[in-house]
Amino acid sequence: ALLIGVLMAGPAWPVVTGRVHAHDYLRSTLDIYPICEYANECLPEDARLLLIHEVRGFYLERDYLWGNEGHHAAIPWSGFRDEVEMRRYLRQELGVTHVLVNHRIQPREARPEGWERTLWEAIRAGTLEPVMEERGYCVYAVQPQE
């Protein structure tokens, strides 16, 4: 059992011994970590992120909620007529200011149907405005209604 524990902890040993800072270790081993650092350092403290195709919000120091259909019933994805209605709902009803998308799952160039349709319409329209992109993740600011 001790040997298994040592083998499993092996990659983290430089952090445990203090030779590598935890942030440097996380940057090199966790693909979403740099985008979380950006959100923590650059987004307002009252920002609220909607995570799309991503559930790993542990390192976010901002409010967030999972956005994929099926995670909960708080977002009526199939009821939105267009991206304008979706943005209004996200901002006014849920207080969402930013959307974090894992584009490794669904590329920006995609034209999805179903629940993702209005999100990608907003990306194409520029009403979800990209503010940071790294390692296949993008943080978009939800533009207010005109």
Instruction: Give the tens place of pLDDT for each residue, 79-92.
Output: 999 999 999 999 99
pTM equals 0.90
Q: Is there a contact between 50 and 89 (Cβ–Cβ < 8 Å)?
A: no
Instruction: Give the tens place of pLDDT for each residue, 123-136.
Output: 999 999 999 999 99
Question: Is the model's pLDDT at 146 over the cut of 80?
Answer: no
How many CA atoms within 13 Å lie on the side-chain side of 82?
Answer: 5
Identify the residue with better confidence: 16 or 78: 78
